[in-house]
Every structure is written in structure tokens, then in C-alpha cells.
Amino acid sequence: MTYLAVFESDTWRLEREVLARALASDWPQVQLKLASPGSPGSEVRDVEWSYQAELGELEGYAHSDGQGIYLEGPIELVADFVVWYRGLVPPEEQVIFCDDSYSFDGVVSTNAVREDIIAITE
């Protein structure tokens, strides 16, 4: 299943360089790949990463508009990344967590923890 953490803003976006630096700094074991501008798929997979943990592997990517990430992996890892991502987005921006078929969705609060994100899926 593909999970999304997204926001809509006319005034703010998470720049790819900021996201890439934060991933490298906060998740040191992450395998990171930046798309070449104009390459096939670069709009949807502007920044890609994979992360291996005891719980399994998480794969993530960010859209080039800087307003969302897509995640695939164990829900516990997904939830950890969503909480982390929420910390990169200004508090005044509303972050929504959902799946690719919108079978669930919920607002990610600025003080969310793993359990809060998992609860959105239930």
C-alpha cells in the first residue's frame, strides 16, 4: 500500500535540497537519490529514498511540487516518517495522512506520535 503525507499551500513548499539534507541528517542509513531535472518520472519522484530497519524496508519519494511524500513499507516505519515529515512543515500548514485510494485520511497534528498516525488508518 502507498501512503501519503501531503499539504496544500500557495505560499510554502519543502524544497528538495532541504528534504534531502534532513533525510541524510536525521536518517543516516537512508539511501538517497535525487532525480535529474527533466528526466522521466522526475516530477513524481523528485527525491527518492529507502531505509532499512528491523521492522523492514521503507521506500519513499517526494513530488517535485514540494508538498507531499509517498511512503511504502511497514506502517510503524511509515508512521515514524510521517511524524518526522510533519516536523519539517510549518505548523500553520495542515498535513494530511492518507493512502493512495483515500480509504482513510486524517490531519497530522504538530505533536503527533507514531500511535496517532497508526490510529488514522484504523
Check residue 108 and give its pLDDT: 98
Burial of 86 (0-12, 13-18, 19+ CB in 10 A): buried
Whole-number Å distance between alpha carbons of 68 and 15 = 11
Does the structure show a pLDDT above 80 at 42? no
Mean pLDDT, to the nearest integer, of 94-118? 96
User: Taking the complete model, does pTM exceed 0.95, yes or no?
Assistant: no
Place of cell 519539517: 88
Check residue 35 and give its pLDDT: 76
pLDDT band at 38 (very low <50, low <70, confident <90, very high): low
pLDDT band at 46 (very low <50, low <70, confident <90, very high): confident
Mean pLDDT, to the nearest integer, of 47-66? 91
Does the structure show a pLDDT above 70 at 44? no
- CB–CB of 16/88 below 8 Å? no
- CB–CB of 96/106 below 8 Å? yes
Mean pLDDT, to the nearest integer, of 88-115? 96
